[in-house]
Amino acid sequence: MFRKILVANRGEIACRVMATARRLAVSTVAVYSDADARARHVTMADEAVHVGGSNARESYLLWRRIIDAARATGAQAIHPGYGFVAENAEFAQACAAAGLVFVGPPPGAIAAMGSKSAAKTLMAKAGVPLVPGYHGENNEPAFLAREAERIGYPVLIKASAGGGGRGMRRVDKAEDFAAALESCQREAQASFGDARVLVERYVTRPRHIEIQVFADSHGNVIHLNERDCSVQRRHQKVLEESPAPGMSETRRAELGAAAVAAARAVGYVGAGTVEFVAEERYDGDIRAYFMEMNTRLQVEHPVTEAVTGLDLVEWQLRIAAGERLPLTQDGVPLRGHAIEARICAENPDNDFLPATGRLAVMRWPAHVAFERPHDDAWLPRVDSGFGEGDGVGPYYDSMIAKLIVWGEDRAMALARLDAALRDTHIVGLHSNVAFLRRAAASRSFATADLDTALIERERAALFDATPLPDEVVAAGIAAHALAADAASEDADPWSRRDGWRLCGPARRRCDLRIGARALVVDLQRRQDGARTLSIGEQHWPFEAQRRDDGRHDVRLGERRLVLSVYRDAERWAVFGAAGSAHVTEVDALALAGEHVADAGSLTAPMPGKVVSLLVAAGERVRRGQPLVVIEAMKMEHTLHAPSDGAVEALLYAVGDPVAEGDELLRLAQAAKS
């Protein structure tokens, strides 16, 4: 085993690798950018080396600096994690030339599978079924447009060197092809340094199923069963589980054998994932087509660890050190069911736009295992590169953490996931926790009616959901305020804030904003100590007591509730068994004078960089027309005209950085007839 390794990554995967290394008594070296100087993976490592600026192209993608850091610190091997340089064949070759072990497959295997087009050509020769499409090297726009017509719409444009849903566009009609191709190629170039794409028929109800494979340097190759990753947004996975619901033993064996054959065909060594797009046939069977092979560990590897009881990072390190696979295919276990939820800084109700800000509160269930792959599988597991108080910036992926649960069967795993998400509290920026809870509880997911359109199909249940009832939100805020008053009581009775009055009842008013609604809450305390909570003409008897764990026992009329409440400046967050709500406390005088913002401007919804201007000054536009494309958190986001009108002025140029709320262009609205 190695004495010291360098982890050429950041965030939760860097922390995950370091956790296993620590258990194996292997020292670790972290690398970090300007933005990550105080990140969790830096403090978790035994040593850390600064490698450049905040943008990944100035730091984590500069693999020569990473190799220099490994040599300077005496590391014997480099674990690339996933993303960044994990699938860079040139980097893997350079590691070998520098006398360092690359914890991953040989450069030749990375090169063979790094291009989706080349990989599909190889699989076709091996007899693996492929989705109809064009996988060649000709990327002339006119040629690809003709190929799309030949294949038949809808088609999917995919970056040849891509992964993680980046550089991917669905196109439903010919007139949209050119713009989608240009955007796809631009995003592919920015994310992977390679603008080449392929075009395939879009499978109308696709499931995303992948097989985890492992190979050693002694010629042994096995698979560790499958995962279903069908629940996706922006072509990126949201919920992942193992085993795949509805997968028969026969089909599992067939797909596993195909994945093993694919790994053998390229002389694979280490951890890899062979991905299939699958569709359910009329007879209930699953038909799968080879999609790609990811030559690295996957984000969703914890669900495989949960159902096998194995530490896949340990396997990676041992294989890289020259050891044999510890199991044969017949010895691979499959026990119970596991589900992973990706917790991201994003706003699901605003097209999943990434969010930035400070994690003012980040609380997990009371009993949880951090980066522990196989002990106490019944405990919820959290893999995260963040701690409470950390900031989430615009430079990297929006994922905050992964929450993994295991159960004896899928029903138990679903119940544990719901409980774990209920007790996951994030305050300070938008997150998808409440959305994940609704998605996991949706009819389609609960009944395993899975495909990549599940989120759109369940839109009515998943978006714009009603938060906690107003009176419950008000009760939570009142309980928190009373507890804060009690904690700050002074010995001087005239300074106490418990509501005592010499005569008459005491009243407190709180003005709240819930979405676009204003809410006025009154809390009244009579001289006998009884309290009443009021919203308009509705009144409820009210009692509250703070628990030792920080939660509040609340009686609201005939209801008894247990609520967790957090305050971050003027913002409040209330969490209960039925859901959560995030509200803002406002100045009553400000409410009276508030006005509607200028509808003739277009502002940046997040920090990022302008990558394309789709209109010119003076041009007339229609409501909904694409105007500007910005890049943030490694994804492109197209902004559309809020109304009909004409472009008065472009305020930024291509390549300019923008902050959240910056006005990008000004519109003169069309005159109303």
As annotated, the active-site residues are 296
625, 641 contact by CB (below 8 A): yes
Nearest to 635 by CA among 604, 609, 662: 609
Query: Could you say which DSSP state residue 596 is in?
Result: P
Alpha helices in 499-655 (DSSP H): 588-592
Task: Name the phi and psi angles at 215, rounded to 5.
Answer: -140, 145
413, 336 contact by CB (below 8 A): yes
- Who's near 398: CB < 8 A, 6+ residues apart? 344, 345, 346, 354, 355, 392, 633
Element (H, E) at 555: strand 552-556
Neighbours of 132 (CB within 10 A): 12
Report the C-alpha gap between 7 and 80 in whole angstroms: 6
What are the E-state strand segments in 8-74?
27-33, 47-52
> Which residues pair with residue 358 across a beta bridge?
391
Sheet holding 620-621, edge to edge: 601-603, 663-669, 645-650, 620-621
Neighbours of 320 (CB within 10 A): 24
DSSP characters over 123-157: HHHTT--B-SEE-SS---HHHHHHHHHHH-SSEEE
Report the C-alpha gap between 85 and 312 in whole angstroms: 19
Would you state the structure tokens that stand for residue 366, as one six-digit string? 């009371």
Would you state the structure tokens that stand for residue 163, as one six-digit string? 């992964």
- Who's near 91: CB < 8 A, 6+ residues apart? 63, 66, 67, 80, 85, 102
Neighbours of 42 (CB within 10 A): 20
SS3 letters across 457-501: HCHHHHCCCCCCCHHHHHHHHHHHHHHHHHHCCCCCHHHCCCCCC
Neighbours of 463 (CB within 10 A): 15
DSSP characters over 58-70: GTTT-HHHHHHHH
Report the C-alpha gap between 167 and 353 in whole angstroms: 17
